[in-house]
């Protein structure tokens, strides 16, 4: 596909970001595009808002999988684009519009150039939450065409266009959402002894959390606990009877994730006793670490370095969360960063990736797949 065609598709997708498992307009748009491709060796399946497309290979000795995510984020866009989000309060602020466009560009290529082996394209919903990878992994359409190996990318604002980065082994962290609801007793600000202030309880809990990473996680490991939102109270002279904390946990090992959750649970129980309140913990969506199969990651970096015009970087692991880790837990594969040279980062309302990266990614992944197929 030409670059201007990819740009047009990306800009259309950018206009209608949708929540996880509600990507109905996105699915319909992609299905329409797929229907316009040569159908000689394509098979299409849907599951909820997911789309799976298998390109039948000439020999079909094995199956290569390529996965993209589809959903947007509840962020009010501030890019100033002429093609800005038309869905108020939602934006493709994590690059999923580029991810889908690249996947379609690859599908377009292989629908015109039949590959040696099968290639399954997986358009996956709900990566941002509540998590689409795990249920899709268990779904019949996926297992009907279950890949032998998988590949995926994620845009990286901090890398220049023409750069791809990955590493053997751990790439992204284990992640868990964190929601805590506290219930005490509200009252008049002038009579605190007659109430049970949940703003004070919530504040104490957040302060206590700061000791977990410092004193309960192996200093040679890494963990992050971030409380990004506290809700409580309605007026300056009313004592809040309830409060809610919303946050996230990131760890580089499953052991640390278990320890962090254990300590959070103990601290919440202590708050219940100390402040005579009720507390409920909801761990929300939990994503497994993204762990690249080591030989495949080295092969991808070596191929990029030797046979392409792109720059290959062996990067460090990141605290980023990605539910592609569920696929890699069962199927060997690789995720890599694609440089897009944005002046604003992921999940920023002003994210402005360089669209030239898409054509480079399509050409690079297509040639890498052909290289890997001929290498077998």
Q: Which parts of the chain sit beneath pLDDT 70?
A: 376
Active centre residues (catalytic): 69, 128
C-alpha–C-alpha distance, residues 320 and 315, integer Å: 13
pLDDT of residue 376: 63
The reply to whether 3-171+289-375 and 174-286 are identical in fold is: no
Q: What tokens appear for 352 in the block?
A: 């402005």
C-alpha–C-alpha distance, residues 307 and 323, integer Å: 30
pLDDT of residue 326: 97
Task: Using alpha carbons, select from 15, 108, 29 the residue that is nearest to residue 66.
Answer: 108
The domain limits of the chain are 3-171+289-375, 174-286
- CATH number of this structure's domain 3-171+289-375, picked from the four choices 3.40.50.300, 3.40.630.10, 3.40.640.10, 3.90.1150.10: 3.40.630.10
CB-based contact 246:202 (threshold 8 Å)? no
Q: What tokens appear for 44 in the block?
A: 């299409």
Name the CATH topology of 174-286: Alpha-Beta Plaits (3.30.70)
pLDDT of residue 292: 98
For the packed helices 3-15 and 96-112, what is the interaxial angle rounded to 10 degrees? 140
CA 192 vs. chain centroid, Å, equals 44
């Amino acid at each position: 596909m030409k670059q201007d065609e990819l740009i047009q598709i990306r800009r259309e997708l950018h206009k209608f970001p949708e929540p996880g498992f509600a990507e109905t307009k996105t699915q319909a748009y992609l299905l329409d595009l797929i229907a316009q491709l040569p159908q000689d060796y394509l098979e299409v399946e849907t599951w909820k808002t997911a789309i799976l497309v298998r390109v039948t290979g000439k020999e079909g000795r094995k199956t290569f999988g390529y996965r993209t995510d589809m959903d947007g984020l509840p962020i009010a866009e501030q890019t100033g684009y002429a093609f800005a989000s038309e869905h108020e309060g939602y934006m493709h602020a994590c690059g999923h519009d580029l991810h889908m466009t690249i996947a379609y560009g690859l599908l377009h290529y292989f629908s015109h150039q039949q590959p040696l082996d099968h290639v399954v394209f997986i358009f996956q919903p709900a990566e941002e939450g509540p998590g689409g990878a795990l249920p899709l992994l268990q779904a019949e359409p996926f297992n009907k065409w279950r890949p032998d190996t998988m590949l995926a990318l994620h845009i990286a604002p901090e890398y220049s266009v023409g750069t791809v980065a990955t590493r053997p082994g751990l790439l992204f962290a284990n992640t868990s959402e964190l929601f805590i609801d506290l219930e005490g007793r509200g009252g008049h600000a002038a009579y605190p002894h007659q109430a049970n202030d949940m703003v004070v309880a919530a504040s104490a809990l957040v302060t206590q959390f700061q000791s977990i990473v410092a004193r309960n996680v192996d200093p040679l490991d890494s963990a992050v606990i971030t409380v990004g939102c506290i809700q409580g109270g309605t007026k300056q002279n009313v004592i809040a009877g309830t409060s809610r904390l919303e946050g996230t946990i990131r760890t580089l090992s499953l052991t640390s994730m278990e320890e962090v959750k254990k300590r959070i649970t103990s601290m919440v129980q202590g708050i219940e006793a100390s402040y005579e309140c009720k507390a409920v913990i909801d761990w929300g969506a939990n994503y497994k670490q993204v762990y690249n199969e080591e030989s495949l990651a080295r092969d991808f970096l070596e191929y990029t370095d030797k046979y392409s015009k792109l720059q290959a970087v062996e990067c460090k692991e990141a605290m980023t969360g990605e539910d592609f880790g569920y696929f890699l837990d069962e199927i060997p594969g690789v995720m890599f960063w694609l440089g897009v040279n944005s002046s604003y980062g992921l999940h920023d309302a002003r994210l402005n990736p360089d669209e030239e990266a898409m054509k480079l990614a399509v050409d690079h992944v297509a040639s890498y797949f052909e290289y890997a197929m001929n290498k077998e």
